Structure 1
Amino acid sequence: MLKHHPHAPILLAYLRVFAISVAAFVVCTTEFIPIAMLTDIGKGFNMSAADTGIMITVYAWVVSLASLPLMLLVANAERRRLLLALFAVFVAGHGLSAVAWSFPVLLASRVLIAFTHALFWAITASLVMRLAPVGRRQQTLGWLSLGTSMATVLGLPLGRLVGQWLGWRFTFALIGMLALGVMVLLAKILPRLESKNAGSLKSLPLLAKRPHLLGMYAMAVLIVSAHFTAYSYIEPYVLEITHMPPDTATALLLVFGLSGMMASWLYSRFYPKHPNPTLLSSAALLLVSLLLLRPLGGSMAAMFALSLVWGTGIGVLGLSMVAHVIRYAPDATDVANAIYSGSYNIGIGGGALLGGIISRHWGLGTLGWVGTALAAAALAVFAWTQLGFKIKQT
């Protein structure tokens, strides 16, 4: 029994962090799974992949708009009960997705799920750091990233395979069943977790006076838009531009996801001692990947290599931006993370929408160029707000 083990408290702490990482895997899988099934979902409703891509935009923008208001509404709520409640809604939303009889109903189910997503990411980073063993906070944040990475390693490719074999509806049903299992696990092992340093409405004027924090929000919008302008349409891109067979396209998604494991290790290795260089380097990797997307798009081998670099860049970057936000707002972590989550999802929605417009009017081959321009703008914001000001806390 775990409770009789001499290192039981440490093992239990790791188990709790692991459980939340699994929860992150499920939440991230459902956020991005439409990317792997746009074509199949479109066929189910007699729509094009570009038109069904609105699912990604709507989901992301609901998260962006709901994150802060929902966080303020439940700022004082006990966290264990809150997690269980949001997962109950999450499961119900996937049941509706699985039986959706029209595209508007499918969109409505995604909106319901997006509300749970908004709250989950507003509170999760601070929770894993509270639950972490002493001296292991940055490491456990890396575990959380591993959960999100595994969503692309396993979630997207397996979701695509399940969708190909049994239909996209079964994929949504399967995610709902996994979420139910996670909810049971969290109910069994999480302690009571009172709200701590969550912040409140009164925190907003204080946070607004911190230029580094505001800069991270602006950078998140731009750099995530850059990424998702191209990544949202990576499936049709490699099918039409690279001329990959469908099974090879699935393998490419797997490679992209595997890079997230490398990203988690690189973050844990370099960020604690070199936060700004780590963030800057990962953003530069993303920019270079987008710049090379079209020149290398005709080669399958080059696209696999590029996916590895691209995935590593966005993986390290996402972790680094979260850590920067926590660093700049230790007194209001949940509110600050809610704003960050909103900013990130504005980027997802904006990128997906922009990518859809570009692919319809100028072709898939131009997505990388637009992403490169947005990434360059994000790096300019970083240079101005993170390196141009002397760090100070208000």
Structure 2
Amino acid sequence: MTPIGLLMDISQSFAMTESQTGIMITVYAWVVALLSLPLMLLVCQMEMRRLLLGTMGLFVLGQLASGLALNFPMLMAARISVACAHSIFWSIAAPIATRLVTRTHRPLALSMIVTGSAVAMIFGLPLGRIIGLYAGWRMTFLTITATALAVLLYLAFVFPKLASDASFSRDDLPKLLRNPVVVSVYILSVLFATAYFTAYSYIEPFLKIVAAFSDQGITSTLMFLGVSGLVGSFVFSHFYNHFRYGIIRAGLLGLVIPFLLWKAAAGGAGTMVAACLVVGCASTLFNVTFQAELIRHVPMGAAPVAMSIFSGIFNVGIGGGTWIGGQVTAHGLLPYIGYAGAAIGLVAAVYCFTAYFHFLGRAGESHQKKS
């Protein structure tokens, strides 16, 4: 996420356009998409503590290389190494969290992961942008390096050994992919991510050029967007078990409606910030809800691999959305980027409310009981 708030500065450093440097986000996402499953199958039998620490170590090295990159190809290579760490981390984070708690506390554990991500959005992206504005984008990556190293050292002292559940093998993969509920979760994840990142990847130039926000206003808006993620996490942890179908609907409609109003909302600072808040809440709500849906419908031993596919497919959507947003921007249609995201989001909503709910019914879920 960090480069999203630094696209303009990175572009200036390498004498490139924003749409050209934006390909860095696309490539990052596609690397995660391609490597999540192969890497997870490769390391799924490793002891979880060792795997987590090794993943964090790779993340630290990748961020350090990003800050020291002398040219754009070097920066791209560094981001690819970070993408490899990303691939493994988001495959194991949710399964580890749910294994450390009782079944009744799993929604809370998942919401805490998303809360951590939301806090990172609140402070990480805006602070990264502030550091970039005043000390250069390289210092942003070096600051992340130092912070991640501190986290790595902390985990080395406090994280317990947690044996890997090696009950899943490559021979079990076809069975997993024959589950229509699981496949539907993957379809929805790629559609949602594509819709969201079509507009979000270019939120900085949209706010600056279309909404006429100042640099400080952009930073504040990104921070508010992160705060809204906390709201989404709160809603999930308190209402998912009782109003599951309503939560699913809210996550999708909360994306489509604000994006339809994206251009109109840019006419006023208050309406633009409000639209961003709703989108941020919906994004968090969708992400944590469908991670919970996935874990709910796969065996515990298959959860890390299932999550690796989820992460990979979600990043296909990120890459696709960033590419679509780049095309919209490159053709001078930046003010209309919200419509592009809304159109894709509407496809996701229609699929969810028809096919996904249908497959849940066939799997024995009661719409009335869960809504």
Q: TM-score range by the shorter chain?
A: over 0.9
In the other structure, the counterpart of 1:297 is 266
Superposition map of 1:1-394 within 5 A: 32-132=1-101, 135-196=104-165, 199-331=168-300, 332-389=302-359, 390-392=361-363
1-structure distance, mates of 2:131, 2:237: 33
- The percentage of counterpart residues that share the same residue type is 38
Separation (CA, whole Å) in 2 of partners of 1:205 and 1:233: 37
The CA deviation at 1:362 is 3.9
Q: What's the TM-score once normalised by structure 2's chain length? A: 0.95
Residues 197 and 135 of structure 1, relative CA distance in 2, 3 Å threshold: farther
Alpha-carbon shift at residue 263 of structure 1 (Å): 0.8
Look up the match of 1:5. Answer: none
Q: Contact 2:44–2:166 (CA<8 Å) still a contact in 1?
A: no
Gaps of 5+ in 1: 1-31
Q: Structure 1 length as normaliser, TM-score?
A: 0.90
CA contact (8 A) 2:186 2:313 kept: yes
List per-residue Cα deviations over 1:99-123 (Å, max 9, x = no partner).
Answer: 1010000000000010010000011
C-alpha distance 162-177 of structure 1, shift in aligned 2 (>3 A) = same
SS at match of 1:272: coil
Is the 1:229–1:355 contact (alpha carbons within 8 Å) kept by the matching residues of 2?
Answer: yes
Say what the alpha-carbon RMSD is for the aligned residues: 1.3
Cα offset, 1:55, TM superposition: 1.1
Following superposition, the deviation at residue 285 of structure 1 comes to 0.7
In 2, distance between residues paired with 1:178 and 1:279? Answer: 34
Q: Map Cα deviations across residues 131-175 of structure 1 (whole Å, 9 max, x no partner).
A: 236742211111100111011100011000011111100100110
List runs of 5+ in structure 2 lacking aligned partners. 365-371
- Write the deviation string for residues 72-122 of structure 1: whole angstroms up to 9, x where unpaired: 011111010011111111111111111101000000000001001000001
8 Å CA contact 2:45–2:166 kept in 1: the answer is: no
Q: 1:225-265: per-residue Cα shift (whole Å, max 9, x none)?
A: 00000000000001000111111111110110000111110
Q: Indicate if the aligned counterparts of 1:42 and 1:48 stay in contact, CA closer than 8 A.
A: yes
Out of 363-372 and 195-204, give the one that drifted further. 195-204
The Cα shift of 1:383 comes to 2.3
Which whole-Å deviations, capped at 9, do the CAs of 1:352-374 have from their partners, x for residues lacking one? 01100111114211211111110
The total of aligned residue pairs comes to 362
